[in-house]
Every structure is written in structure tokens, then in C-alpha cells.
């Protein structure tokens, strides 16, 4: 028997909160035992809890993976790293940036585990060039419901691969991942930012940014009319040898931020109201001069601006918040995107942070999120029913346009919408039922979306 402890678990959005029996195995043998213990009310792996909604939540047994965090092999000639699933991206960077390697793909926070990155098949600012996380993985070890450990490669287990990559932890516990790191000259990023005046301008700048591996935009989703979609477009690439920023000052700022910025307690409910969001968007836009700025920056502020504030999710207070991220196939006039921005502005639920990016071609898991098109991610304080109604409307526009919502950030999409967004879900389910016929691996999200059946037998 592993040691099970009753805990209230939440994702990064802090809504919903689900109570579970939680274990934190210290050895691989204990992880295998824990999976054996859980028969009956199901089990799910939990990494660093940076998914937003109920992706990593389950009302039965939950196993934390963070203590199984060993590096197992590294080949500096090729960059192939084999590491256990509980290793965080932060740890990979800490050990390997000084040795001239970087993550091939990174989401907007480094506080995620390799297992979580695979289970959500995460994408980064370089998606249009390098695809998503699984494109840089050649194998992983999967602890399945039967207690067996399989070494899964695309070639040897094509279906299990497509079911597990982006598969939200529902095929088993990933124990280790073989990931190819990218050689870099150092920690520096050559970055340019361009102020974009409206949506068309955004797409024009995005199109002319082919010389950059990393692109992302911030857009103001409070302002309507002609300036709808105004914002700041950021593009960058790993700096070649010899190019670096004046280290001292920047280094000190990053270090100071690291030590000082934390949100120790819940913010008051009024903190993020319509007025503050509007003011923030206005200031953020205005502080960037018209036109373009070039700079050399450390990878921390470039990739992880939010990580500088440790528990920033507490700013939203106890009620938590919801993130909504969807991808829409590109159309010449970007009608669906305009409809979505319009619906948000009209609702008055401005988003503090609205991030926009174009995805490139994809060939990943059946439930992997990225598809070619434009993706938009928004944070909303949990306003309850009126917000949920707005998000339903956004779902309808997204489904209509042939788009989908990111399940790694979801807490509320309906089963019907989900099935239209992810038409390959049935292939996913067949593969998952084959590897877990008794329905051992389960989650709140999986039950909500009909991926697994509550109470076992999927």
C-alpha cells in the first residue's frame, strides 16, 4: 500500500477544487504499487498542476509525479536527453543551458513537468516552425493499468503513441521521456517587438516574420471598432555566439524579481474588475512606442514573463479564474476571430492577458490541441454564470469555424462541443480502452467529456 492522504486539489485556475486520495511515490516501485492500489475509484497522474481547469483533477486516487525526477542519460553529441516524467522544465534549463542546450519547445511557464508537457502535448512560440512537444520526443516509458511498463515509440506502438501524446494522463503514467534538446550559444534571445495597430496589421507582421523562430502577440481585447486587435507583436530567436546583453543589470533584475515577487495571499475580488483591465490594456499598449523596438534579452523574461511572480494565480482571489484558449483555421477575412473578439468586448469581461499566435502544420496525438490556424488565449476572473454563457458563445463560434479549445486549459466545455472540436476522439477512445480496458485511469475532465466512464469500465 502506498501512503494515501486526503487532499483538496486544484489546477492553476483554482477552479474547480476536487478532493482526492493523494500519494507521492518516492521510487518507481512505489509508483507501480500506487497504480495497483487504486483499482476501483480510478487514478490520475498530477505533475506541477499548471494545467488550468480540471485536466489534472480526479475524485479518486491521484499520484504526484514530482519525486520521480531523475535525469537518466544525456548525449551531448546529439542533444538526446532521457529523463523521468517528474523533472520540471525549470530543472532542465538549470542543468543544460550552461552546457549549451535549450528546450526544443516550452510553454509560457517553466514550472511544468516533462510528463505534463507530454500529456498536454504543449506548444510554444515556435510552433509554426518546430511543432509541439511530442515532435521532439522519440520514446517514453508508460506505466499502464496492468502494471506493465511499455517503452512506446511512434514506430512500435503507433496507436498508443497517438493516444498518450496529448492524452491528458488517461492512458497511464508516463515514467520517462526521451527528448531532444536544441543546441544554443547561450541564454540570450534576439528580440524585436512591433506595435500592431489592428488585426490586419497583426497578420501582416506575422507573415513577414519568417526570419524568426519564435513569435507571439499580445492583443488588447477591450478596444472595439477599427483598432480591434491592436497590440504588440513579439518575435525572437536564440542569439548566436558573441551576442549578449549587458548582463549585470538584467541579471540583477531577474534575480531580484525571482526572490521578491510572490503573491502570498488571495487578492480581493474587486482587484480585476472592468476598469482595471481596461486601464491595464491601455497602458500596456501605449507604453510601447509606435513601430519597432529591438533588444537582446535573457530567456527568462522572453519565455517566462509570468514566472517572475510566483503565485500570480492568487491575484484572482479565492473564486479562481478561467482560461479560454482556442485555435481557429485561418480564413482570408478572419471572420470567426473578429466575431470572438467582438463577443468578448461586448460582454464587458475584458481579459487581462490575451495572447495570439499562428500555429503551423501538425501531426500529433488524437487529442493534441494545435492545428494550423490562429490561436487566442484569454484569462477571465471567475464571474460565474454570465461568464460561462459567454464561453458557450465562444465555443459555438469556434465549432462553427472548425476550431477547437485547448483541453489543458479547460474546465467547462460540453461533451457535444468537444466531440465536434476533436472529431478523432473515437479513435483515441478505442486505443485508450485497449490499453486500459477496466478504466483505471480517470479524471474529472475525462468524465465530463465522455472520454472515460465514471465509476470504471470506460
Partner 1 sequence: MERGEGGNEQPRSGVEGAVRGAAVVFGVTSRVGRELALRFAERGHPVWVGARDQAEAERIAKDIAVRTRVVAISGGFDARAVETHAALVSSIEAAVGPIERMVIAFGDMGDDGRRDPQMLRRIVEVNYLGAASLAELVADQMAARGRGIIAALGSVAGDRGRQSNYAYGSAKGALALYLQGLRNRVFSKGVHVMTAKLGFIDTRMTWGLATKIPIASPEAASHAVLEAMEARRDDLYWPPFWRGVMGVIKAIPEAGFKRLSL
Ligand X SMILES: NC(=O)c1ccc[n+]([C@@H]2O[C@H](COP(=O)([O-])OP(=O)(O)OC[C@H]3O[C@@H](n4cnc5c(N)ncnc54)[C@H](OP(=O)(O)O)[C@@H]3O)[C@@H](O)[C@H]2O)c1
Ligand Y SMILES: Cc1cc2nc3c(=O)[nH]c(=O)nc-3n(C[C@H](O)[C@H](O)[C@H](O)COP(=O)(O)OP(=O)(O)OC[C@H]3O[C@@H](n4cnc5c(N)ncnc54)[C@H](O)[C@@H]3O)c2cc1C
Instruction: Determine, following the binding rule CB under 6 A, whether residue 65 of this chain makes contact with ligand Y.
Output: yes
How far apart, in whole angstroms, are the C-alpha atoms of residue 82 and residue 139? 9
Q: Which of 25, 42, 47, 53 binds ligand Y (CB under 6 A)?
A: 47
Look-up of cell digits 479549445? 405
Asked whether position 26 contacts ligand X by CB under 6 A, the answer is yes
Is residue 107 at the binding interface for ligand Y, with CB under 6 A as the rule? yes
Judge whether 83 and 148 are in contact, CB under 8 Å.
Answer: no
Tell me which H or E stretch contains 73. Answer: strand 71-75
Least distance in angstroms from the C-beta of 37 to ligand X: 17
Q: Which does 46 bind (CB under 5 to 8 A by kind): ligand X, partner 1, ligand Y, none?
A: ligand Y
Residue (26 or 363) nearer to partner 1, CB: 26
Residue 306 in the binding site for ligand Y (CB under 6 A): yes
If the CB atoms of residues 20 and 184 are measured against ligand Y, the closer one turns out to be 20
Q: Kindly indicate which of the ranges 108-116, 189-197, 292-300, 331-339 contains the residues binding ligand Y, using the contact rule CB under 6 A.
A: 108-116
Residue 415 is placed in which grid cell?
A: 461533451
Judged by DSSP in three states, 339 sits in helix
Query: Would you call 53 helix, strand, or coil by DSSP?
Result: coil
Minimum CB separation of residue 323 from ligand Y in Å reads 8
User: What gap in Å lies between CA 190 and CA 188, rounded to an integer?
Assistant: 7
Task: Take residue 358 and report the three cell numbers written for it.
Answer: 499562428
The piece of 45-53, 182-190, 338-346, 389-397 that touches ligand Y (CB under 6 A) is 45-53
Q: 378 pairs with which residues across the strands?
A: 324, 354
**Which residue, 26 or 255, is less far from ligand X as judged by CB?**
26
Q: Interface residues with partner 1 (CB under 8 A)?
A: 3-5, 23-24, 26-30, 67, 70-77, 84, 95
Least CB distance to ligand Y at residue 407 (A) = 8
* Closer residue to ligand X, CB minimum distance, 27 or 295: 27
Burial 178-213 (b: 16+ CB within 10 A, else e): bbbbbebebbbbbbbbbbbebbebbbebbeebeebb
The least distance separating partner 1 from the CB of residue 23, rounded to whole angstroms, comes to 8
Listed residue (12, 35, 50, 61) closest to 174, CA to CA: 35
Q: What is the DSSP string of 353-381?
A: -EEEEEE------TT----SEEEEEEEEE
Among ligand X, ligand Y, partner 1, none, the one that 3 touches (CB under a kind-dependent 5 to 8 A) is partner 1
Candidate residues 93, 120, 165, 228; the one interacting with ligand Y per rule CB under 6 A: 120
Task: Determine how β-strand 182-183 pairs with β-strand 321-328.
Answer: unpaired
Q: Does 12 bind ligand Y (CB under 6 A)?
A: yes
Taking the C-alpha atoms of residue 156 and residue 164, their distance in angstroms, rounded to an integer, is 14
Work out what residue 120 binds among ligand X, ligand Y, partner 1, none; the CB cut-off runs from 5 to 8 Å by kind. ligand Y
Task: Give the sheet arrangement for strand 231-238, strand by strand.
Answer: 292-298, 188-196, 231-238, 214-219, 354-359, 373-381, 321-328, 404-405
What Cα–Cα distance (Å) separates residue 219 from each residue in 138, 200, 222, 233, 323? 36, 12, 9, 8, 15
Smallest distance from ligand X to CB 30, Å: 8
410: partner contacted, choices partner 1, ligand Y, ligand X, none (Cβ within 5-8 A by kind):
none
Select from ligand X, ligand Y, partner 1, none the partner in contact with residue 429, using the beta carbon and a kind-dependent cut-off of 5 to 8 Å: none
CB 349 within 8 A of CB 273: no
Identify whether the C-beta of residue 431 lies closer than 8 Å to the C-beta of residue 163.
Answer: yes
446 binds, among ligand X, partner 1, ligand Y, none (CB under 5 to 8 A by kind): none
113 is a contact residue toward ligand Y (CB under 6 A): yes
**108 binds ligand Y, rule: CB under 6 A:** yes
**Contact criterion met (CB below 8 Å) for 188 and 239:** yes
Q: How many residues bind ligand X (CB under 6 A)?
A: 2
CB of 86 to ligand Y, least distance (A): 7
Angstrom distance (rounded) from CA 306 to CA 348: 24
Which CA distances in Å does 409 have to 52, 116, 457?
A: 5, 12, 26
Pick the closer one to ligand Y by CB: 12 or 316: 12
Site for ligand X in 85-124 (CB under 6 A): none
Closest approach, Cβ 353 to ligand X, in A, equals 40
Stretch touching ligand Y by CB under 6 A, among 49-57, 191-199, 218-226, 391-399: 49-57
The nearest distance, CB 6 to ligand Y, in angstroms, is 18
Nearest to ligand Y of 46, 299 (CB atom): 46
d(Cα 426, Cα 439) in Å, to the nearest integer? 16
Residues at the interface with ligand Y (CB under 6 A): 12, 44-51, 55-56, 65, 85, 107-109, 112-113, 115-117, 119-120, 122-124, 168-169, 173-174, 306, 408
Residues at the interface with ligand X (CB under 6 A): 26-27
Amino acid at each position: 500500500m502506498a501512503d494515501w492522504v486526503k487532499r483538496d486539489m486544484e489546477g492553476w485556475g483554482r477552479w474547480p477544487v476536487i478532493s482526492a486520495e493523494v500519494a507521492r511515490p518516492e521510487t518507481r516501485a512505489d509508483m507501480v504499487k500506487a497504480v495497483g492500489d487504486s483499482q476501483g475509484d480510478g487514478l490520475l497522474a498530477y505533475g506541477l498542476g499548471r494545467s488550468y481547469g480540471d485536466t489534472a483533477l480526479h475524485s479518486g486516487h491521484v499520484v504526484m509525479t514530482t519525486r520521480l525526477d531523475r535525469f537518466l542519460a544525456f548525449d551531448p553529441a546529439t542533444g538526446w536527453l532521457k529523463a523521468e516524467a517528474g523533472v520540471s522544465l525549470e530543472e532542465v534549463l538549470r542543468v543544460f543551458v550552461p552546457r549549451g542546450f535549450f528546450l526544443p519547445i516550452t510553454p509560457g511557464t517553466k514550472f511544468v513537468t516533462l510528463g505534463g508537457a507530454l500529456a498536454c502535448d504543449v506548444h510554444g512560440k515556435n510552433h509554426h516552425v518546430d511543432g509541439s512537444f511530442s515532435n521532439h520526443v522519440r520514446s517514453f516509458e508508460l506505466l499502464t493499468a496492468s502494471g506493465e511498463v511499455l517503452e512506446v515509440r511512434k514506430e512500435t506502438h503507433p496507436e498508443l503513441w497517438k493516444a498518450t501524446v496529448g492524452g491528458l494522463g488517461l492512458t497511464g503514467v508516463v515514467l520517462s521521456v526521451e527528448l531532444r534538446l536544441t543546441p544554443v550559444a547561450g541564454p540570450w534571445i534576439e528580440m524585436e517587438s512591433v506595435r500592431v495597430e489592428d488585426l490586419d496589421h497583426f497578420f501582416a507582421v506575422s507573415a513577414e516574420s519568417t526570419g524568426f523562430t519564435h513569435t507571439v502577440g499580445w492583443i488588447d481585447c477591450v478596444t472595439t471598432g477599427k483598432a480591434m486587435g491592436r497590440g504588440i507583436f513579439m518575435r525572437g530567436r536564440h542569439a548566436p555566439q558573441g551576442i549578449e546583453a549587458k548582463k549585470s543589470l538584467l541579471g540583477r533584475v531577474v534575480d531580484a524579481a525571482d526572490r521578491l515577487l510572490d503573491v502570498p495571499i488571495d487578492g480581493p475580488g474587486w482587484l480585476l474588475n472592468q476598469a482595471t483591465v481596461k486601464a491595464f490594456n491601455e497602458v500596456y499598449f501605449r507604453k510601447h512606442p509606435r513601430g519597432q523596438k529591438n533588444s537582446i534579452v535573457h530567456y527568462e523574461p522572453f519565455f517566462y514573463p509570468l514566472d517572475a511572480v510566483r503565485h500570480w494565480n492568487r491575484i484572482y482571489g479565492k473564486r479562481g479564474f478561467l482560461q479560454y484558449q482556442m485555435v481557429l483555421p485561418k480564413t482570408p477575412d478572419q471572420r470567426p476571430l473578429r466575431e470572438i473578439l467582438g463577443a468578448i468586448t461586448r460582454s464587458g469581461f475584458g481579459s487581462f492577458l490575451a495572447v495570439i499566435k499562428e500555429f503551423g502544420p501538425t501531426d500529433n496525438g488524437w487529442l493534441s490541441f494545435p492545428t494550423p490556424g490562429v490561436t487566442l488565449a484569454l484569462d477571465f476572473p471567475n464571474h460565474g454564470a454570465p461568464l460561462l454563457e459567454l464561453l458557450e458563445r465562444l465555443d459555438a463560434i469556434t465549432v462553427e469555424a472548425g476550431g477547437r479549445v485547448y483541453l489543458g486549459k479547460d474546465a467547462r466545455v460540453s461533451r457535444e462541443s468537444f466531440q465536434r472540436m476533436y472529431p478523432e476522439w473515437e479513435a483515441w477512445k478505442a486505443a485508450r480502452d485497449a490499453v486500459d480496458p477496466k478504466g483505471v485511469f480517470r479524471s474529472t475532465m475525462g468524465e465530463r467529456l465522455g472520454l472515460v466512464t465514471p465509476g470504471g469500465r470506460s
